[in-house]
Amino acid sequence: MEPKNYTDLKKITKIGVFTSGGDAPGMNAAIRAVVRTAIYNDLEVTGIYRGYQGMIDGDFTAMNRRSVSSIIQKGGTILKSARCLDFRTKEGRQQAFDNIQKEGIDALVAIGGDGTFTGANVFSTEFNIPVMCIPGTIDNDLYGSDYTLGYDTANNTVIEAIDKIRDTASSHNRVFFVEVMGRDSGCIALNAGVGGGAEAILLPEVNTGIDGLVEEIEFAEERQKTSMIVIIAEGDKNGGVYQVSKQVKEKFPHLDVKVSILGHLQRGGAPSSFDRVLATRMGYTAVNELLKGNTRATVGLRGTAMITTPLEEALNTKEFKLDEELLEIANIMNK
């Protein structure tokens, strides 16, 4: 691994770790890895509650190896999370910096999504504090890692839900419109749609439009399909799941149409094996990179290797994260 963003090596003695933004399965496993790697390297660790809000409020806790016992399998985050508006102000960040200085924290590991990365980048630049980020979000929408923490678990959760919905859909000959999370990303929709055998998938990144969906339904009817599952990513541009289902009902009045919004259940639950191992590798790498002098960067998985990417690059690069081949496969499997 060739890190790109190294600065003058400052001696780090105490790391502050926090989770911020939407929680994701695997965050606890990442906290555990950060704490244990830091302690192994004779560093102290402070847990910061509720992300940037806790930094502003001085809501800290000293962590040791035992503080992270039996959390690798737990969903959510023991350090809690928040979306913090005050951190967007200079006064808020100054307050946060004063608090972490008082606490003796001289480097940070931030676990979260793009809002967390943006905050970390600004804060680290303003106050010259070393920071490494770990991509933790079910959305899989960050540049710098093939997969974000929690994405694999969320896919498994959605597939389990689709299986259950399919049981009732086929019993009643119904068409279900299932909305899944992902903000502006269609990663969960595409992967869980393929894994759950969905008849159609609407994604923000691909302009299928209602007409495309109508064609899919006509085609399914020609094949005498009696029930269907249509997955709609929450960021889809066709007006939302209710609007889409309404338009379909207008075109096919004989269909028994139902809507199911999976919502926040997609964020919970025990992390999958993949997410636990990924989180552990990311936490370990984040601390070791800080110790080598790397800063203002995110850790990630490319292929099978751990890499780091400068935060500026991660924040400013738009990557099409849908697997093009999987898109094609989805269109063949639903025929």
Binding residue for ligand F6P (CB under 6 A) from 183, 237, 258, 281? 183
184 vs 215 by CB, closer to ligand F6P? 184
Q: Is 225 in the site for ligand F6P (CB under 6 A)?
A: no
Listed ranges 4-12, 85-93, 133-141, 304-312: which one lies at the site for ligand F6P (CB under 6 A): 133-141
Q: What are the tokens at 60?
A: 């800290």
Cα–Cα distance, 128 to 252 (Å, whole number):
60
Do 249 and 214 contact (CB within 8 A), yes or no? no
Q: Is 203 in the site for ligand F6P (CB under 6 A)?
A: no
Q: Is 137 in the site for ligand F6P (CB under 6 A)?
A: yes
Q: Is 138 in the site for ligand F6P (CB under 6 A)?
A: yes
Catalytic residues: 139
Least Å from the CB of residue 203 to ligand F6P? 14
Cα–Cα distance, 57 to 229 (Å, whole number):
46
Q: Is 182 in the site for ligand F6P (CB under 6 A)?
A: yes
5 vs 81 by CB, closer to ligand F6P? 81
Least Å from the CB of residue 164 to ligand F6P? 21
Listed ranges 89-97, 104-112, 179-187, 269-277: which one lies at the site for ligand F6P (CB under 6 A): 179-187
Least Å from the CB of residue 188 to ligand F6P? 8
Q: Is 186 in the site for ligand F6P (CB under 6 A)?
A: no
Q: Which residue has the tokens 């209710």?
A: 242
Which residues inside 262-291 make contact with ligand F6P, applying CB under 6 A?
267
- List residues binding ligand F6P (CB under 6 A): 22, 113, 137-139, 181-183, 234, 267
